[in-house]
Structures are given as structure tokens and as C-alpha cells.
């Protein structure tokens, strides 16, 4: 099964830990089929048939893969490890047998860019746009070389993707979000690879079983969580408001015989709830009403009145009425839709980063301009000048 590491306890009941690397197994299977691939670190960075590689990787989810992995573990444990504690006769007499279960799983997806400069541009903009909305407290950066190559490396180059996680060839910036024993993260590796990864530090949190026989189900759950995370990040990165959203969100909704108020962003409480819902969006298993109340309270701060679950349930019902949040099955957990992320964030950005700065700039016009102007500040300045002329044409006084 590729790269396999086994650790075994030196005293009864001789507990063992098996660490397997799926990338190594896929690489070996590809070479058996004469598929040319380039693998650096834990990433496939080159090859002629990535579709064939995906098909090989999918065989790891098949039912027969469980039996193959069991045989590999049995062969190594009983013949190469356990023999130092119990010989074959003692193993047979005591009927000693291992039962395998998972403790930690990692599932990743790699995006390969043709040019390192494109990777830098895309990833840095994604960090700027989503970090605050998704409530990422800190970004971890391990410094290497600052600039990635403009063009793809030639074949035969001695360049190594990464010497180690602590000594990257290029700057390594990690966006990481923790939810209990689950970690979602995005980081750039080497010159052209952007990796999205989910780590289950304790598989029990996946609620899909822990025994080896549950492997296909566990992988499916991990893939689903990762895809949901990608959809949320994409929606947060590029928000969108259609023409009728302004009118429809503020209008009340009707569900059966119940009439619900609209989502009024002029109210501070509604804006905090929207920020809390978006911050909880990457949570793999959704959020509860009490979890939403806690998040809103954290955003509001200790100096304000506590926000309880009753208020959270009322505000959540209003947002659900607009189809921005949905219930997960018949449970008491909820998740925001991709459309909900885009609309709630677009409203927040429009109000806090467009309308307020523009109005403040129109009112406080004048003064000495700075020597160095950021591109975003230049956009604001151009909009302010045109907005002031628009106000003059409309006869709107600004003071």
C-alpha cells in the first residue's frame, strides 16, 4: 500500500499504530501502469494523464481496498513486528488478533497552476477577501523565497518542491480554521501548488464509524466536507447581488400561516447575525441555534447585552425565510447555502467597504494627498469625485 509506518507498543496488549500514505500508493500504481508522473513532496506536479491518476485514487474507496489494506497490516504486524513479543506458536495459542480502526484521517485536493505568479495573485486576493468574513484569527507564514518562478520549471531541474514543512522553498502561508477535532486549511506549496485540506484529528467527530470497514464511507464524508468548504470559500471570494435582491431581502416572507419579517441590514443586530452565520459557514457539520447565539455574542463583545438562543432562533427564521440558510435533514442543525454566503457578504461589503468609505470621503474632502496611494484607495478617490458631481446634479447637500 505504498509508504507504510508501523509503531507497536512493547508490552501487552501490544497496541499498534499504522500510518499509511495514499499519495505514495497512487504513485506506485501509476508507475506499474507506465504512466509518467512527477511527484514532489506529497503533490503530483506533472504528468500526461491526470484523469488516469484520479481513477487510480478512486480505487482506494472501493470495498476490496479494505481487504487489501487489512492484509498488508496483518503481514507487517504479525510477521515483522509482533514476532519480537510473541512467536508464531504463542500467537496461535493465545489467539491473538488485531482489530483495526481509524483515529486520524487527512483528505486533500491540490490545484496546480501553470505559473507561480498566478498562484500568488489568486491566493493573496482570496486571503484578503475571505479571511475576515470566515473569522480566521491569524495567518501562519513560514518564510522561504518570496517570489515564485514566472514560468514553469523545465524538466530535469534539480528544484525540490519543499524540503520540509518548516523549511519551505517558497513562502508558505496557511489559512486554518478549527472546529473541535476537525481542521480545514488552505496553503500554498512550492512554486505552483495550492492545497486545500481537511484533517480529522479524531475520526469519531465524523460520525461515520471508526472501524476499517467504514473506510469508503469515511472518505466520502471527508470529500463532502472538503467540497462544501471549497464552495463556501468560492462564494465568499466572489460575492454577488442580483437586481432584485435589495427589494426582496427587506420584504417580509410567508411560510404557511406564519408571516416573518424581512432581513433589514439597517439594524445592527441583523448585521451581526449575518456576520456570525457567514463565520460559521465552513463548519463541516453545520451549526445550532445556541452555537449561532454564542457567535453573535462574541462578535458583539462583552460590553453589550447578551444575545440568547431565543433571539437567535427568531433571526435565523427570518434568514431561512429568504432561502439563505437551510436545515440539515430533520436535525436541529443548519447550514448556509452558497447563495446565502454570496448575498450576505455582498451586503456587508457594499455597506461597510463601499458606501460608508465613499460617504466619509465625500464629507471629508480636501487635505494633502499621501505620497503613496494604494490601488484600492485610488478607486475610492475616483468614485468619490464622481459621486460628489452626482450629488451636485441631483441637488443633494453633503455636510
Q: What is the predicted pLDDT for the residue at 163?
A: 34
Q: What's the sign of the alpha-carbon dihedral 53, 55, 61, 63?
A: negative
Residue that finishes a domain, picked among 49, 84, 100 = 100
Whether residue 135 is found in the same domain as residue 165: yes
Domain with 234, as residue range(s), is 106-238
Whether residue 20 is found in the same domain as residue 81: yes
219 DSSP assignment:
H
Express each pLDDT in 167-209 by its tens digit.
556 677 888 888 889 999 998 887 788 899 999 999 998 989 9
Q: What is the predicted pLDDT for the residue at 157?
A: 43
In a domain, 359, yes or no: no
In a domain, 356, yes or no: no
Q: What is the predicted pLDDT for the residue at 197?
A: 92
Whether residue 213 is found in the same domain as residue 122: yes
Whether residue 296 is found in the same domain as residue 199: no
Residues 6 or more apart whose CB falls under 8 angstroms from that of 370 comprise: none
In a domain, 249, yes or no: yes
Instruction: Specify the CATH number for the domain of residue 337.
Output: 1.10.10.10
Whether residue 1 is found in the same domain as residue 57: yes
CA angle 128, 131, 136 (to 5 degrees): 150
Q: Total structural domains in the chain?
A: 4
Whether residue 11 is found in the same domain as residue 93: yes
The CB density around residue 113, as the number of other CB atoms within 10 Å, is: 19
- Tell me the three cell numbers of residue 291: 452555537
In a domain, 360, yes or no: no
Q: What is the predicted pLDDT for the residue at 362?
A: 52
Whether residue 133 is found in the same domain as residue 255: no
Residue that finishes a domain, picked among 238, 260, 290 = 238
In a domain, 353, yes or no: no
Whether residue 218 is found in the same domain as residue 255: no
In a domain, 350, yes or no: no
Residue that finishes a domain, picked among 58, 85, 100 = 100
Q: Which of 233, 236, 232, 252 is nearest to 348 (CA)?
A: 236
Whether residue 131 is found in the same domain as residue 163: yes
Whether residue 124 is found in the same domain as residue 30: no
Q: How far, in Å, are 67, 116, 118 from residue 150 at the CA level? A: 46, 6, 8
In a domain, 386, yes or no: yes
**Block residue for cell numbers 463565520:** 279
Distance CA 175, CA 184 (A): 8
Q: Which of 193, 174, 194, 170 is nearest to 183 (CA)?
A: 174
pTM of the model: 0.77
Q: Which of 350, 364, 357, 198 is nearest to 282 (CA)?
A: 198
Q: What is the predicted pLDDT for the residue at 160?
A: 37
Q: What is the predicted pLDDT for the residue at 26?
A: 86
Q: What is the predicted pLDDT for the residue at 398?
A: 55
**In which residue ranges of the chain is pLDDT below 50?**
1-2, 155-166
* Beta-bridge partners for 325: 336
In a domain, 351, yes or no: no
Amino acid at each position: 500500500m505504498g509508504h507504510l509506518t508501523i509503531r507497536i507498543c512493547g508490552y501487552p496488549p501490544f497496541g499498534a499504530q499504522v500510518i499509511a500514505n495514499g499519495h505514495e500508493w497512487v504513485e506506485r500504481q501509476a508507475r506499474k501502469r507506465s504512466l509518467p508522473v512527477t511527484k514532489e513532496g506529497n503533490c503530483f506536479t506533472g504528468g500526461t494523464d491526470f484523469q488516469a491518476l484520479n481513477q487510480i485514487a478512486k480505487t482506494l474507496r472501493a470495498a476490496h481496498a479494505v481487504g487489501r489494506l487489512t492484509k498488508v497490516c496483518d503481514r507487517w504486524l504479525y510477521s515483522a513486528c509482533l514476532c519480537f513479543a510473541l512467536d508464531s506458536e504463542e500467537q496461535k495459542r493465545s489467539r491473538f488478533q488485531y482489530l483495526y480502526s481509524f483515529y486520524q484521517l487527512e483528505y486533500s485536493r491540490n490545484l496546480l497552476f501553470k505559473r507561480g505568479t498566478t498562484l500568488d495573485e489568486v491566493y493573496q486576493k482570496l486571503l484578503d477577501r475571505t479571511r475576515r468574513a470566515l473569522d480566521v484569527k491569524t495567518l501562519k507564514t513560514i518564510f522561504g523565497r518570496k517570489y515564485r518562478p514566472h514560468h514553469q520549471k523545465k524538466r530535469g531541474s534539480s528544484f525540490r518542491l519543499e524540503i520540509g514543512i518548516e523549511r519551505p522553498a517558497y513562502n508558505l502561508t496557511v489559512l486554518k480554521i478549527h472546529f473541535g477535532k476537525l481542521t480545514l486549511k488552505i496553503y500554498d506549496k512550492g512554486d505552483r501548488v495550492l492545497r486545500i485540506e481537511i484533517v480529522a484529528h479524531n475520526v469519531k467527530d465524523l460520525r461515520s464509524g471508526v472501524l476499517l470497514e467504514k473506510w469508503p464511507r469515511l472518505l466520502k464524508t471527508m470529500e463532502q466536507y472538503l467540497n462544501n468548504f471549497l464552495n463556501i470559500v468560492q462564494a465568499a471570494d466572489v460575492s454577488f447581488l442580483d437586481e432584485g435582491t435589495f427589494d426582496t431581502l427587506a420584504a417580509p416572507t410567508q411560510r404557511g400561516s406564519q408571516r416573518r419579517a424581512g432581513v433589514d441590514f439597517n439594524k445592527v443586530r441583523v448585521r451581526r447575525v449575518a456576520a456570525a452565520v457567514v463565520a460559521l459557514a465552513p463548519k463541516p457539520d453545520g451549526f445550532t441555534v445556541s452555537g449561532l447565539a454564542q457567535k453573535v455574542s462574541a462578535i458583539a463583545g462583552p460590553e453589550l447585552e447578551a444575545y440568547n438562543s431565543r433571539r437567535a432562533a427568531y433571526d435565523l427564521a427570518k434568514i431561512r425565510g429568504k432561502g439563505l440558510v437551510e436545515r440539515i435533514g430533520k436535525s436541529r442543525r443548519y447550514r448556509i447555502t452558497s447563495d446565502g454566503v454570496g448575498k450576505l457578504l455582498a451586503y456587508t461589503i457594499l455597506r461597510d467597504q463601499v458606501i460608508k468609505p465613499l460617504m466619509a470621503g465625500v464629507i471629508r474632502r480636501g487635505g494633502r494627498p499621501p505620497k503613496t496611494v494604494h490601488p484600492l484607495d485610488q478607486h475610492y478617490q475616483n468614485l468619490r469625485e464622481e459621486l460628489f458631481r452626482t450629488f451636485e446634479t441631483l441637488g443633494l447637500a453633503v455636510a
